[in-house]
């Protein structure tokens, strides 16, 4: 169990906290929270009820299903926001473990969200041979559930990546001209 999960009581509460802290203006129903965090609906209901009774979340509207949003008037919101943002990260080993099932990885680059530069077009670049897009998309959704944020990513076959690199593709320039982190580089950049 992650140390923060121990502090906040459970991994489920931590995932839900991250989701609502990173998406303050978003109104979400129980099924939407369950889908985005990959948690059971009953667990989500219980955690949402606890966070609502604490004042961190507020119910929106009177219609069913219940919808929740971060309460901007919660007195400790800024402190929790700072704490969650400062302590939320995903270990590179966990990222690579998730993506290895997608195919033969040749290059994995973290940028954007993972480097603190939010304005970039993508947060993750994956290059490989025989990549299975469905498996890759599932891996990204798993990371999104852990982080509580949407991850913008792009994936390319090795030949396509080399071509784009050769013609100074704007998307690739956006990654490599700004702070980035290479997790795997079997191409030799």
Q: What percent of the chain is predicted at pLDDT more than 70?
A: 95
Distances in Å between the alpha carbon of 165 and those of 162, 174, 187?
5, 12, 11
Q: How confident is the model at residue 113 (pLDDT cuts 50, 70, 90)?
A: confident
pTM, two decimal places? 0.73
Q: What is the band of 132 on the pLDDT scale with cuts at 50, 70, 90? A: very high
pLDDT value of residue 83: 86
175's CB contacts (< 8 A; 6+ apart) are 109, 111, 120, 121, 122, 125
Contact 183, 90 (CB under 8 A): no
Query: 30-37 vs 133-147: helix axis angle to the nearest 10?
Result: 110
Burial of 113 (0-12, 13-18, 19+ CB in 10 A): buried
Question: Which tens digit of pLDDT belongs to each residue from 67-105?
Answer: 999 999 998 888 888 888 777 777 788 888 888 888 899
Per-residue confidence (pLDDT) for residue 186, from 0 to 100: 93
The pLDDT assigned to 158 comes to 94
Instruction: Please indicate whether residue 157 or residue 147 has the higher confidence score (pLDDT).
Output: 157
Across the range 145-160, mean pLDDT stands at 89
pLDDT at residue 164, rounded to an integer: 94
**Total residues found in the chain within this entry:** 189
Residue 33, Cβ density class (10 Å: 0-12 exposed, 13-18 middle, ≥19 buried) = buried
Q: What is the tens place of the pLDDT at every residue in 8-23? A: 788 899 899 989 988 8
3-state helix, strand, coil in the chain (%, to 5): 50, 15, 30
Please state, as a whole number, how many other Cβ atoms lie within 10 Å of the Cβ of residue 10.
15
- Terminus-to-terminus CA distance in the chain, angstroms? 36
**DSSP at 105:** E
Q: Which of 25-34, 43-52, 66-75, 116-125 has the lowest mean pLDDT?
A: 116-125
pLDDT at position 92 = 81
CA–chain centroid gap for 160, Å, is 26
Domains in the chain and their CATH numbers? 3-87 (1.10.10.10), 92-185 (3.30.460)
Q: Is residue 33 pLDDT above 90, yes or no?
A: yes
Confidence of residue 6 (pLDDT cuts 50, 70, 90): low
């Amino acid at each position: 169990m992650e140390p923060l999960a121990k502090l906040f009581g459970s991994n489920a509460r931590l995932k839900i906290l991250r989701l609502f802290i990173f998406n303050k203006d978003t109104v979400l129903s129980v099924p939407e929270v369950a889908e985005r965090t990959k948690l059971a609906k009953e667990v989500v209901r219980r955690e949402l009820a606890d966070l609502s009774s604490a004042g961190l979340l507020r119910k929106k509207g009177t219609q069913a299903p219940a919808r929740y949003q971060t309460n901007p008037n919660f007195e400790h919101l800024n402190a929790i926001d700072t704490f969650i943002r400062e302590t939320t990260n995903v270990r590179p080993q966990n990222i690579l473990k998730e993506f290895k099932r997608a195919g033969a990885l040749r290059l994995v680059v973290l940028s954007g969200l993972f480097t603190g530069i939010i304005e970039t077009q993508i947060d993750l670049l994956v290059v490989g041979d025989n990549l299975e897009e469905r498996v890759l998309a599932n891996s990204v959704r798993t990371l999104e559930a852990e982080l509580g944020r949407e991850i913008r990513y792009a994936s390319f076959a090795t030949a396509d990546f080399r071509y784009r690199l050769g013609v100074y593709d704007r998307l690739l320039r956006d990654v490599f001209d700004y702070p980035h982190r290479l997790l795997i580089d079997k191409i030799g950049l």
